[in-house]
Amino acid sequence: MKNILITGGNSGIGFATAALAKTRGYEVTISGRSPERVDQAAEQLGVIGFVADMSSMEDIQSLATLFLEKGLDALVNNAAIAKFMPITTHTESDYDDFLNTNIRGPLALIQALVPALAKNKGCVTNVSSAVTNNGLPNASLYAATKGAMDAFTRSLALELAPQGIRINVVSPGAVDTPILAKLGLPAEQIEAIRAQQEEMIPLQRYGKPEEIADVILAQLESSYVTGSAWSVDGGVNAT
């Protein structure tokens, strides 16, 4: 049985990817920062849950240890911070949080898992964002980290290919996840933001987490694909 590790697997795109991978016969491990949410999601999905903060090097090493002996077939780097704020409000703490979780964390996890991925000729999908190719107000710090992810994916694809490891990116657009609700905005403001965004999407709607999961699994199972970025954004990248 193939195995898969999905960071941020307790909600949204990560949860949908874990659910789909389970139906495909994978042994699924999800990770997240909140013990309560990880336990709840793992029980609901019938998968393995592991509490790990992607900004903690100690947590990353502990997570990687689970796979060093048996190897790893697939890694989905999905955990990320996604807060939207004007540049005039950025603090030193914001820079640290974004860079540690969205760049250093995924890179360090891949680094720690190279032996496990090499053992199984495994693959990695990094979950980036359509915002790297399409500007979005108040998203400069988030976009910077996702742009860095796109860049390091291409370099790692070349570096790790001799070991049989493939690494790619999936770049979702607007997806129906709890991300806006986490901003603490009133429901009517969230609906207004959503309506405004949907007008700019060629398919005129938000994507569903399950639709992103379909593409992530397709990318992981496409054995002649590495160093690629797949847009899943309703056509926004084509405008």
Distance between CA atoms of residues 146 and 148, nearest Å:
5
**What element of type H or E holds 48?**
strand 48-51
Say how far apart CA 48 and CA 59 lie, in whole Å: 16
Chain centre distance of CA 89: 25
Query: Could you give the 3-state DSSP secondary structure of residue 235?
Result: coil
Q: Out of 26, 142, 206, 224, pick the active-site residue.
A: 142
121: left (phi over 0), alpha (psi -120 to 50) or beta: left
C-beta of residue 215 within 8 angstroms of C-beta of residue 230: yes
Instruction: Indicate if 142 belongs to the active site.
Output: yes
Would you name the residues annotated as active-site residues?
Answer: 142
